[in-house]
């Protein structure tokens, strides 16, 4: 069974809106069917732990032997086996499911869009975000150039997740912002999304960059935007030789780590987004209201 990292937030008040969320960590390989079977198991584990929102990592369906392998599984927007899988899983468990990223067809036949799709509990898609910032690295023997096979997105995206009704009255919606991996290094994107309650950062950080920058960047984005941040990641040694950093985590608006998966390998991280904590942090240090630019 996959390991579950579960945390009850130390600062969460017993009263007020709460949203239980889960980040899925994977070590995706070159066989799509195997990856989907693993994702299905982990989604089920997260739903059984009470998560209303479950997020998969970047490239959950495939980390192939070549960067061009993703072109062979690209789908037209709105239809395809990967999109059907996500829709079906959301509906089967009655959850909000963020499909990490999957390759969608772009206007350039030699490139895909690296897209994060959001499905509601009824299986209908409610949001799509195409990764804007494309990773490039030249670090000794490590070289990456996402722009060779991926076309950049252009538009920041947020969506609202309705709070459950209490005594027949719907609570305020959670405002959720979408981003992907390398976007994390560009704070101006997150300022365009603010104010938000929760940021999503599905990722596949390399071991090299993750060990140096992952935690400090995640905590900075949560602190400066005074919101929770959920970061599901690839984490381990992949069959294509790539090593990813993992350390999937949930961070609160004060920058404290609510829950984190420290070992390599597949598993989930579960924790609560607390409305009371958001209000407390924003009232005690109203930085968002002090913005002048």
**Nearest of 285, 270, 289 to residue 8 by alpha carbon:** 270
Kindly name the residue from 5, 111, 146, 181 that is annotated as catalytic: 181
Six token digits for residue 145: 């150039």
CA angle at residue 134 from 268 to 117, to 5 degrees?
Answer: 45
111 is catalytic: no
Six token digits for residue 169: 């009255």
Kindly name the residue from 5, 70, 111, 131 that is annotated as catalytic: 131
Q: Distance between CA atoms of 162 and 181, rounded to whole angstroms? A: 26
**Nearest of 217, 200, 223, 231 to residue 282 by alpha carbon:** 223
Kindly name the residue from 58, 70, 111, 227 that is annotated as catalytic: 58
Which string of b and e fits 216-251 if b means at least 16 CB within 10 Å? ebbbbbbbbbbbbbbbbbbbbebeeebbbbbbbbbb
At residue 121, what are phi and psi to the nearest 5 degrees? -60, -20
**3-state SS class at 114:** strand
58 is catalytic: yes
CB burial class (10 A; 0-12, 13-18, 19+) of residue 161? Answer: buried
Q: Distance between CA atoms of 250 and 259, rounded to whole angstroms? A: 5
131 is catalytic: yes
**3-state SS class at 78:** coil
**Nearest of 52, 135, 42 to residue 85 by alpha carbon:** 42
Q: Which residues participate in catalysis according to the annotation?
A: 58, 131, 181
């Amino acid at each position: 069974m996959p390991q579950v990292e579960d945390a009850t937030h130390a600062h969460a008040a017993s009263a007020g809106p709460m949203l239980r969320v889960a980040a899925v960590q994977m070590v995706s390989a070159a066989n799509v069917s195997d990856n989907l079977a693993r994702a299905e198991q982990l989604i089920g584990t997260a739903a059984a732990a009470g998560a209303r929102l479950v997020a998969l990592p970047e490239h959950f369906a495939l980390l192939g032997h070549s960067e061009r392998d993703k072109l062979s599984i690209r789908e037209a927007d709105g239809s395809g086996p990967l999109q059907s899988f996500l829709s079906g899983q959301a509906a089967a468990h009655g959850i909000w499911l963020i499909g990490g990223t999957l390759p969608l067809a772009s206007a350039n036949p030699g490139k895909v869009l690296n897209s994060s799709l959001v499905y509601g509990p009824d299986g209908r898609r409610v949001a799509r975000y195409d990764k804007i910032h494309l990773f490039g690295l030249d670090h000794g023997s490590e070289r990456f150039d996402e722009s060779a096979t991926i076309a950049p997105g252009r538009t920041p995206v947020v969506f609202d997740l309705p709070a459950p009704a209490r005594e027949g009255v719907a609570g305020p919606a959670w405002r959720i912002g979408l981003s992907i991996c390398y976007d994390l290094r560009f704070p101006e994107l997150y300022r365009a999304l603010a104010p938000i309650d929760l940021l999503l950062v599905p990722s596949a950080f390399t071991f090299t960059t993750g060990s140096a920058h992952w935690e400090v960047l995640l905590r900075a984005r949560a602190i400066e935007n005074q919101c929770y941040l959920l970061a599901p990641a690839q984490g381990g040694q992949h069959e294509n030789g790539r090593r990813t950093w993992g350390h999937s985590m949930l961070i609160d608006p004060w920058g404290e780590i609510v829950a984190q998966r420290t070992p390599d390998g597949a598993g989930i991280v579960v924790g609560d987004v607390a409305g009371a904590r958001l209000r407390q942090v924003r009232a005690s240090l109203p930085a968002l209201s002090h913005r002048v630019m």
